[in-house]
Amino acid sequence: MPSTLTFFFLLALACFLLTQSLLKWRHIRHIQAHRAQVPAEFSHRISLASHQKAADYTVDRSRLALVGQLSESVLLLVLTLGGGLALLHDFWATHSSGLSYGLALILSVLGLSALVDLPLTLYKQFVIEARYGFNRMRLGLFFSDLARSTALGLLIGAPLILVVLWLMERMGDDWWLTTWIFWCSFNLLLLFIYPTWIAPLFNKFTPLAEGEMKTRIEDLLQRCGFNAAGLFVMDGSKRSGHGNAYFTGFGRNKRIVFFDTLLERLSPGEIEAVLAHELGHFRKHHVLQRLLLSFAGSLLLLWLLGQLMHYPTFYNALGVPTQSTALALILFFLVIPLFLFPLGPLSSRWSRRHEFEADAYAAEHASASDLVRALVKLYDDNAATLTPDPLHSLFYDSHPPAAQRIAHLQRLENAA
């Protein structure tokens, strides 16, 4: 009965919000309890002032995350049991029909979510990031980025939504399979075109200059048998003081990108070690594994939606008295995170294992001690906490805690 399903929805939401809040408060208390002293293994590398800055930065971000969790939960209740979706449906059903109705309904929900999130994003960027010296973005650039990302989202997202809705309505009971094939194809295409068509809309990418850095990197790529479409430096410093490096692209279109802030802080040997770690992800097929897992998960979710969307109780229990493909799509993806959250520790554990494997690969093809020095600098520069709460880390952290990762690399170095 709808009342029973509604009860389970509210119970899942309460458990989701309570668990997330408890984890964040544990994390905050744990960091504050260890704020007064740098962990022994880092005491000769990181100052007490830097350690306390990282602790305060993490606490501020965690408190903001608590507010974000609450606002998202309130919005979910307003849209479902509060009648928000029903009102949007009534409005758009009188002004449009067919695919245009579905598109307008979905874009309305996405727009409301973005509006609720906007004040928190502004506070994070211009208060918290600025407080700790990381924000380099002006308000004009922020809204320029927002306008470009919104326009790009509409340009790519609107046709995508229309195709998905059309497949849901025209492909019969097996729509979920054809939609999955389309979704996977779209994501592969996006991976391929992102480096050359999308990323340059937001940042400037310049080829890495000739010199010791480039020579070492090219030698590393040759040793590892890795072909890249180019080595690029991104002007990350115009938005943030954080440093990073990453691979982007797919197939022969793979690029290696360094933030300019990263190159300013690390030596050539440390850059080589960081890149060797990233190469480890490719050589150990971590990227492919994650992609395949994502595709398998999307297949399962689409199949599940295909089973639920035909039952009136699915809609009624969530405060929507009307059935439609667009409403089914919205309701499902609003609610499903509540039930996927308990899988978080499994996903995080798998990701942390990949990080250890990539570190081991880096220790084989570069210097483990250089990677240790690079990581310590990155922890320091990015104000990453050295003392996360273990239970919080179990749920949320895709990378091993700093102490575990450094100890692992030192064991590899000593065994070499």
Catalytic residues: 278, 359
Q: Report how far apart, in Å, the C-alpha atoms of 306 and of each of 146, 198, 292, 303 are.
A: 34, 32, 21, 5
Q: Are 17 and 70 in contact (CB under 8 A)?
A: yes
Q: Are 360 and 412 in contact (CB under 8 A)?
A: yes
> CA angle 329-330-332, nearest 5°?
70
Three-state secondary-structure class, residue 240: strand
HSE at residue 118, side-chain half, CA atoms within 13 A, is: 14
Give residue 287's identity as a one-letter amino acid code.
V
Helices 325-340 and 98-123 pack at an angle, to 10 degrees, of: 40
Report the Cα 268 to chain-centroid distance in Å. 28
CB atoms within 10 A of CB 22: 12
Nearest of 269, 272, 270, 256 to residue 223 by alpha carbon: 272
Give helix then strand counts, H and E, for the chain. Answer: 17, 4
Q: Which backbone phi and psi does 234 adopt, to 5 degrees?
A: -105, 140
- What pairs with residue 246 in β-bridges? 257
Q: Which backbone phi and psi does 256 adopt, to 5 degrees?
A: -110, 125
Nearest of 53, 196, 168 to residue 106 by alpha carbon: 168
Report the Cα 339 to chain-centroid distance in Å. 19
HSE at residue 231, side-chain half, CA atoms within 13 A, is: 19
